[in-house]
């Protein structure tokens, strides 16, 4: 589904990603972790072309992300993305947040879009909030709406960029629950997250990035189970986030 | 205080020589203001968006042009368009058009920066989230960025338009008979009532400007409530 092949990226003269390669098969859930500034968010934003890269190639469902002939907006409409800061549109009600792209991008009728929006809102447990504005919702609720907004487009895969990092601790689980359910239903997912409980529960593979290099890319049982076989950096990272 | 000088010439202050001659006075000031406000608004809007979506050479050139129009005095631009254009291009620009063009160019240059700043004030994440949904760049602007940026820009637009109303008084230098021009005429004719006349003129400007401010704020407030 997603193939990342020898991808490098520079900001000016600083290299932020160095020859990263990995692939995500259909239905697979991959968790990407690593220290802050390691390039993990950048990597995930390359997949739907929100950031550019200088060398290597990325394909999503066979489409080259950086090819000039690629219709990037069309590709993006098939790839769902959830952001750290939710990024709901504050001037639109929850319902209109869900229907905007369905109507303008997919060409669905207003009625069809609203029905689809409402059914997904129900799925994330927020059907009562359709007429509210994002600012009236808690962080956890906003992120659940953001997930519903992405799902409205019937994506072939989902990208999550630290979806719980901006949340108060008591709201993390409501978002993770939605993500776990999604993973169990067979959605192809790439998740940048530090929630190792989530990784243990549903991830097929765990990728560990440090300083722009993919250091580990292995099955979750190997990643968490066989700690001694992991690189020194990965061990340090794991002990620092699992010690509490 | 002799208020007779005001009442005797009231028609002339308000509409100039109209209907026996050309429209002038406060009515002409209003027309100049409305036209310049509209053109400068459209210009500022388009140029501001252009600033936000261009990079590199195109943006730098645009910034240079804008800084030029922000740096020259209105009165100079009025002189220029009025006296230079006929010489250089052989076309005769009527006085009223000259004033509207000059005020619109300068107002537009200022407003472009306000529009640009309003657009820039939104988080990068809003652009990314909208793009990630598959919206095309102009759709991102139209449905996500501008509806949020416009309320932020309103105070700048009101400020600029109020300044512009007052700047229409500079039209007198090329003999356009707007409010300040007719006031000077009456004052020169009557000789001894400048206090009364210019106090009245000041009140008229104040009334026009505060009316604009009142309605603009109401529109802005309604718009903000709707969001």
In sequence order, what are the residues at sequence separation of 6 or more whose Cβ sits closer than 8 angstroms to the Cβ of residue A2? A23, A24, A47, A58, A59, A60, A157, A188, A190
Average pLDDT over residues B23-27: 90
In this predicted structure, what is the pLDDT of residue B173? 87
B144 contacts A50? CB cut-off 8 A: no
In this predicted structure, what is the pLDDT of residue A36? 86
* Residue pointed to by tokens 């004033």: B99
Fold (topology level) of B4-226: MetI-like fold (1.10.3720)
Nearest-5° angle of CA A42, CA A46, CA A47?
A: 125
* B46 exposure class (CB count in 10 Å sphere: 0-12, 13-18, 19+): middle
Instruction: Return phi, psi of residue A68, to 5°.
Output: -60, -30
Nearest CA in chain B to A135: B227
A63-72, A180-189, B171-180, B215-224: least confidently modelled range: B215-224
Q: Is A18 left (phi over 0), alpha (psi -120 to 50) or beta?
A: beta
In this predicted structure, what is the pLDDT of residue B225? 62
A101 contacts B133? CB cut-off 8 A: yes
In this predicted structure, what is the pLDDT of residue B227? 53
Q: Is the pLDDT reported for residue A242 higher than 80?
A: no
- Neighbouring-strand partners of residue A159: A81, A190
Of A49, A62, A46, A26, residue with least CA distance to A212 = A46
Nearest CB partner across the interface for A105, out of B125, B128, B134: B134
d(CA A159, CA A150) in angstroms, rounded, equals: 10
Q: CA A183 from chain center: how many Å?
A: 12
pLDDT digits (tens, 9 = 90+) for B31-71: 999 999 999 999 999 999 999 999 999 999 999 999 999 99
Give the pLDDT band of residue A243 (cuts 50, 70, 90). Answer: low
B131 contacts A76? CB cut-off 8 A: yes
| Residue A101 at interface with chain B, using a CB cutoff of 8 Å | yes
Best to test chain A binding among B134, B136, B144 (most A CBs inside 10 Å): B134
Q: What percent of chain A is modeled with pLDDT above 90?
A: 84
A77 contacts B148? CB cut-off 8 A: no
Give the pLDDT band of residue B3 (cuts 50, 70, 90). Answer: confident
In this predicted structure, what is the pLDDT of residue B81? 86
Instruction: Return phi, psi of residue A192, to 5°.
Output: -85, 115
B135 contacts A89? CB cut-off 8 A: no
Of A99, A96, A95, A103, residue with least CA distance to A130 = A95
Average pLDDT over residues A22-31: 95
Using CA atoms of B22, B23, B28, B34 in order, give the dihedral in degrees to the nearest 10: -100
Average pLDDT over residues A19-32: 95
B129 contacts A87? CB cut-off 8 A: yes
Nearest CB partner across the interface for A77, out of B123, B134, B148: B134
Looking at beta carbons, which residues of chain B come within 8 Å of A45?
Answer: 128
Q: Is the pLDDT reported for residue A244 higher than 80?
A: no
Residue B109 is encoded by which pair of tokens? 């240059």
Nearest CA in chain A to B143: A100
pTM over 0.90: no
Nearest CB partner across the interface for B143, out of A85, A90, A100: A100
Residue A165 is encoded by which pair of tokens? 């990092």
Best to test chain B binding among A104, A142, A151, A153 (most B CBs inside 10 Å): A104
Average pLDDT over residues A1-17: 93
pLDDT digits (tens, 9 = 90+) for B79-103: 888 888 888 888 888 889 999 999 9
Q: Is the pLDDT reported for residue A127 higher than 80?
A: yes
In this predicted structure, what is the pLDDT of residue B199? 94
Average pLDDT over residues B139-143: 95
| Residue A63 at interface with chain B, using a CB cutoff of 8 Å | no
In this predicted structure, what is the pLDDT of residue B22? 87
Sketch the domain layout of chain B as residue ranges.
Answer: 4-226
Residue A154 is encoded by which pair of tokens? 């019937």
* B95 exposure class (CB count in 10 Å sphere: 0-12, 13-18, 19+): middle
Best to test chain B binding among A46, A47, A65, A73 (most B CBs inside 10 Å): A73
| Residue A180 at interface with chain B, using a CB cutoff of 8 Å | no
In this predicted structure, what is the pLDDT of residue A98? 97
| Residue A244 at interface with chain B, using a CB cutoff of 8 Å | no
d(CA B178, CA B25) in angstroms, rounded, equals: 4
Average pLDDT over residues B114-137: 95
Q: Is the pLDDT reported for residue A56 higher than 70?
A: yes
Residue B143's CB is within 10 A of a number of other CB atoms, namely 19
Best to test chain A binding among B129, B135, B151 (most A CBs inside 10 Å): B129
Of A192, A202, A159, residue with least CA distance to A32 = A192
């Amino acid at each position: 589904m997603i193939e990342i092949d020898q991808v490098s990226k520079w900001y000016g003269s600083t290299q932020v990603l160095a020859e990263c390669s990995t692939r995500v098969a259909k239905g697979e859930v991959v968790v990407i972790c690593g220290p802050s500034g390691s390039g993990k968010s950048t990597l995930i934003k390359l997949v739907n072309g929100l950031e550019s890269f200088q060398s290597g190639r990325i394909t999503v469902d066979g489409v080259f992300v950086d090819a000039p002939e690629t219709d990037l907006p069309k590709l993006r409409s098939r790839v769902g993305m959830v952001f750290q800061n939710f990024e709901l549109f504050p001037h639109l009600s929850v319902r209109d947040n869900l229907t905007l792209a369905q109507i303008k991008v997919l060409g669905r009728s207003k009625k069809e879009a609203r029905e689809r929006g409402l059914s997904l809102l129900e799925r994330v447990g927020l059907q009562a909030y359709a007429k509210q504005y994002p600012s009236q919702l808690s962080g956890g609720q906003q992120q659940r709406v953001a997930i519903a907004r992405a799902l409205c487009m019937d994506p072939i895969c989902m990208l999550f960029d630290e979806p719980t990092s901006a949340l108060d601790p008591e709201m993390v689980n409501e978002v993770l629950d939605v993500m776990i359910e999604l993973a169990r239903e067979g959605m192809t997912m790439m998740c940048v997250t530090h929630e190792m409980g989530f990784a243990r529960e549903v991830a097929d593979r765990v990728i560990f990035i440090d300083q722009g290099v993919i250091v580990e890319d292995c099955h979750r049982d190997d990643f968490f189970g066989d700690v001694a076989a992991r690189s020194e950096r990965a061990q340090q990272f794991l002990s620092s986030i699992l010690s509490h | 205080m002799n208020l007779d000088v005001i009442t005797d010439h009231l028609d002339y202050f308000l509409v100039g020589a109209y209907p026996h001659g050309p429209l002038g006075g406060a009515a002409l000031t209003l027309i100049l203001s409305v036209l310049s406000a509209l053109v400068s608004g459209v210009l500022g809007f388009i140029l501001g968006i252009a600033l936000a979506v261009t990079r590199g050479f195109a943006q730098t050139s645009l910034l240079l042009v804008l800084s030029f129009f922000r740096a020259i005095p209105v009165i100079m631009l009025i002189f220029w368009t009025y006296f230079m254009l006929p010489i250089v291009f052989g076309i005769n620009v009527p006085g009223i058009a000259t004033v509207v063009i000059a005020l619109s160019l300068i107002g537009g240059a200022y407003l472009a920066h306000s529009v640009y700043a309003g657009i820039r004030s939104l988080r990068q994440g809003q652009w990314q989230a909208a793009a990630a949904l598959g919206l095309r760049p102009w759709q991102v602007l139209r449905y996500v960025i501008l509806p949020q940026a416009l309320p932020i820009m309103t105070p700048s637009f009101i400020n600029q338009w109020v300044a512009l109303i007052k700047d229409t008084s500079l039209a007198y230098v090329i003999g356009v008979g707007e409010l300040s021009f007719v006031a000077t005429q009456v004052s020169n004719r009557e000789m001894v009532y400048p206090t009364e006349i210019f106090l009245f003129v000041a009140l008229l400007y104040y009334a026009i400007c505060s009316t604009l401010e009142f309605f603009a704020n109401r529109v802005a407030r309604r718009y903000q409530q709707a969001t």
